[in-house]
């Protein structure tokens, strides 16, 4: 079952749920500052889209960040569980969480070694950057950044650190750390990310250009060329170079996903609707899976504003739905097409499936009912229907975390503090989940 983001959810609630679901931190911005956590997504959004977004663990970090910005006009970044570093764009949420856990375990071990009297190695000392002459940082920031640098293992780690230092105001120190990141990039993703950062944080376009050239020499598939073209157009403003890369990307496209993302990028960066439309047609001819049709419909509706074409694809999506996928589709239909009647029909199918014990094998029945209740409340504003569904979730809950999440939903969507407290009390009586 997908984790849903809607316009009606509060920033604080969204961040809490995201951390619980994926083990990662979601940084939400309002302009250049962090968003007010008491506001809803709708209150801070910069554009009107469908008002919904489904998130799965298989989704890549960079893809999710782009989708949220595209859908809501809100900038987000996904960071580790302790919010000390940013996750790699090419990692899935599941992979990013796995890497984060390894990092935390390693950090805990290092902390224990220090406490036990283990000496700091010469290698660690070599990583410490001397305080710059033009220092705009506080002593605490300096200490934190130096400590982070000791733990840096690869180009990505150094790049993330340099980003943080630059944002904190010390671009000279950041430049030195970016140089360290440039020493051993693992792949094209490291090179592109480094070029993006140097262009955006330091505004050193020539340095960035050299890195983009190097990245292009390592590009192999449609995704590589598409991503690189977008960065070069955005950060260097080089439209002709971007077009050449997009043409290479099209020649390498193998499936519906490749073509859709390519069309999305061309529309976003170049504003070329005709080229995008041709690519969407190619994508449709290669569409096979439910997500192919669903994601393609989203793009066609949002970028081409072709409601008729999108509707056709959503109908194909419906024919391929199972269990809670009907609910996810209902949210899209209501948000993008403003078709309440169709959405209600899909929600009723979902309810029937869940009551028959048919749900996503990756989720418990209790969690499936809870997600469904959230969708009902946020999409239709139907508190009575949501309450009925939440009761089904409670009836099927056998684990502590199921009840804890349910209590949060009841409080957020129904504002029923009494019932939420009773659910939490029930949760406290259970052992921690394994």
Q: What is the pLDDT of residue 69?
A: 83
Q: Is residue 90 part of a domain?
A: yes
* Listed residue (251, 306, 320, 257) closest to 286, CA to CA: 257
DSSP 164-192: HHHHHT-HHHHHHHHHHHHHS--SHHHHH
Residue-averaged pLDDT of the chain: 86
Least confident of 116-125, 263-272, 366-375: 116-125
Q: What is the pLDDT of residue 243?
A: 98
Q: Is residue 391 part of a domain?
A: yes
- Band the pLDDT of 362: cuts 50, 70, 90: low
Tokens 């694809």 sit at which residue?
313
Domain residue limits at 362: 323-434
415: domain CATH number is 1.25.40
Residue 326: how many other CB atoms lie within 10 Å: 22
SS (H, E, C) 56-115: CCCCEHHHHHHHHHHHHCCCEEEECCCCCCECCCCCEHHHHHHHHHHHHHHHHHHHHHHH
Domain boundary residue among 87, 113, 139? 113
% of the chain exceeding 90 in pLDDT:
58
- Band the pLDDT of 38: cuts 50, 70, 90: confident
Q: What is the pLDDT of residue 56?
A: 77
Give 295-349 pLDDT, tens digit per residue: 999 999 999 999 999 999 999 999 999 888 899 899 999 999 999 999 999 999 9
Per-residue pLDDT, averaged over 267-294, amounts to 96
Please tell me the pTM assigned to this model: 0.72
Specify the higher pLDDT residue, 119 or 80: 80
Domain count, the chain: 2
Q: Is residue 220 part of a domain?
A: no
Q: What is the pLDDT of residue 323?
A: 84
Q: What is the pLDDT of residue 129?
A: 42
pLDDT at 211 over 80: yes
- What span, in angstroms and rounded, lies between the C-alpha atoms of 106 and 175? 27
Give 156-172 pLDDT, tens digit per residue: 889 989 998 999 999 99
Q: Is residue 334 part of a domain?
A: yes
Domain boundary residue among 78, 113, 148? 113
- Band the pLDDT of 430: cuts 50, 70, 90: confident
Q: Is residue 100 part of a domain?
A: yes
Q: Is residue 311 part of a domain?
A: no
Domain boundary residue among 69, 96, 113? 113
Q: Is residue 64 part of a domain?
A: yes
Q: Is residue 204 part of a domain?
A: no
Give 175-187 pLDDT, tens digit per residue: 999 999 999 898 8
Residue 216: how many other CB atoms lie within 10 Å: 20
| 134, two tokens | 């033009």
- Band the pLDDT of 67: cuts 50, 70, 90: confident
| 267, two tokens | 């529309």
């Amino acid at each position: 079952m997908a984790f849903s983001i809607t316009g009606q959810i509060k920033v604080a609630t969204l961040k809490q749920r995201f951390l619980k679901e994926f083990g990662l931190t979601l940084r939400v911005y309002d302009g250049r500052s962090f968003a007010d956590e008491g506001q809803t997504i709708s209150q801070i959004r910069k554009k009107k889209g469908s008002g919904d977004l489904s998130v799965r663990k298989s989704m890549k970090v960079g893809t999710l960040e782009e989708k949220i910005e595209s859908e809501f006009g809100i900038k987000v970044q996904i960071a580790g569980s302790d919010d000390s570093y940013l996750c790699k764009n090419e990692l899935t949420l599941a992979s990013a969480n796995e890497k984060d856990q390894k990092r935390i375990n390693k950090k805990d071990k290092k902390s224990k070694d220090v406490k036990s009297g283990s000496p700091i190695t010469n290698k660690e000392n070599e990583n410490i950057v001397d305080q710059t002459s033009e220092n705009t940082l506080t002593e605490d920031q300096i200490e934190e950044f130096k400590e982070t640098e000791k733990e840096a293992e690869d180009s990505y780690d150094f790049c993330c650190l340099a980003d943080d230092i630059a944002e904190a105001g010390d671009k000279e120190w950041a430049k030195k750390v970016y140089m360290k990141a440039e020493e051993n990039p693992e792949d094209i993703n490291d090179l592109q990310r480094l070029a993006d950062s140097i262009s955006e944080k330091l505004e050193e376009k020539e340095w960035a250009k050299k890195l983009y050239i190097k990245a292009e020499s390592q590009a192999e598939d449609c995704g590589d060329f598409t991503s690189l073209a977008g960065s070069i157009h955005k950060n260097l403003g080089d439209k002709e170079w971007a077009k050449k890369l997009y043409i290479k990307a099209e020649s390498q496209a193998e499936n519906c996903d490749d073509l859709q993302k390519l069309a999305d990028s061309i529309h976003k960066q170049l504003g070329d609707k005709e080229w995008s439309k041709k690519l969407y047609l190619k994508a449709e001819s290669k569409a096979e899976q439910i997500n192919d049709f669903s994601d393609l419909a989203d793009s066609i509706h949002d970028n081409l504003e072709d409601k008729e074409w999108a509707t056709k694809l959503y109908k194909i999506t419906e024919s391929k739905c199972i269990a809670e996928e009907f609910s996810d589709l209902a949210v899209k239909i209501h948000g993008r097409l403003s078709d309440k009647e169709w959405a209600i029909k899909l929600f009723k199918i979902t309810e029937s499936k869940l009551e028959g014990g048919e749900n996503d094998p990756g989720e418990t029945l209790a969690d499936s009912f809870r997600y469904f209740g959230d969708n009902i409340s946020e999409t239709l504003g139907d508190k009575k229907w949501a309450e009925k569904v939440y009761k089904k979730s409670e009836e099927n809950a056998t684990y502590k975390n199921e009840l804890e999440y349910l209590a949060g939903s009841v409080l957020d969507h129904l504002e029923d503090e009494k019932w939420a407290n009773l659910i939490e009390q029930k949760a406290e009586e259970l052992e921690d989940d394994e």
